Amino acid sequence: MVDSNGKLMWSLPIEIDHTDEIIVGTFGPGQDERLAIVSGWEGFMIVNKEGKIIVRDINGHAQRISSANYCPDKPGFEIATTTYWGNNGIVYLHDCNGREIWHREMLSNGNVIAPLNWDGNGTEIIWMSAHEGGFDGDGRRVLVLPDDGHPEMCTEVINLTGDTRDEIVVWDRHSMYIYTQDGEAADDPRGEYRPFKYPEYNGSNYRGEYSFPNWDD
């Protein structure tokens, strides 16, 4: 952390590896903004703005991270992480305080654990891959792509068609498939669900992904 003049205020004791992805947000009720970080063999951490490590879990090479309302029955926003090397391909879900809710080993490595606004009802799906599909906050597979010969090398979640919900894109070197919903979003008394998500103009392979609730009248 540096101040507006570039003076170092504090740094984290990350010495044997590097940080891959970071999310800054207010994850739980009554909390200040915090940093949720995955730093390889240094693990998954939640850090306050003074540089104090509140939670640390070294569960393999922590690689990717996302946060959204995956469990609507729990307070705050859940945090998903995945590992690459060592405990390869294991996905973890944590509550807003960093406590593990569940973990499971996937059949494919490189899961993107992207928040997917599929139903437009304020509850996000954890989208993992074209092969694995999407999972809810209880770790149940709730969305799979049709058996239509689609590629499985790469995937992305992005809003393409103009409504507030996301589409799923899957591709390889030879073809690309785009999937969207087969109907309109259900009416909701809260309005139209239009979450605050990471900006598309700042997209990259390594980014902390988030989808924080927002309702438009």
pLDDT tens readout for residues 123-143: 999 999 999 999 999 999 999
Residue 21: pLDDT band with limits 50, 70, 90: very high
- Give the whole-number percent of the chain exceeding pLDDT 70: 98
Residues 189, 213: Cα–Cα separation, whole Å:
15
User: What distance in Å separates the CA atoms of residue 215 and residue 26, rounded to the nearest whole number?
Assistant: 17
Indicate whether 110 pLDDT > 80.
no
Residue 109, pLDDT score: 63
CB 67 within 8 A of CB 36: yes
What is the reported pTM? Answer: 0.94
Core vs surface per residue 29-54: b (16+ CB within 10 A) or e: eeeeebbbbbbbebbbbbbeeeeeee
pLDDT category of residue 173 using cuts at 50, 70 and 90: very high
- Domain extents for the chain? 21-182+190-200
pLDDT confidence bin for 59, thresholds 50/70/90: confident
Average pLDDT over residues 104-111: 75
CA geometry: angle 207, 213, 216, nearest 5 deg: 125
Nearest to 45 by CA among 29, 11, 78, 22: 22
Q: Answer for the pair 131, 107: CB distance below 8 angstroms, yes or no.
A: yes
Q: With 70 as the cut, is the pLDDT of residue 37 above it?
A: yes
- Other Cβ atoms closer than 10 A to 213: 17
Select the more confidently predicted residue: 83 or 78. Answer: 78
In this prediction, residue 200 carries a pLDDT of: 84
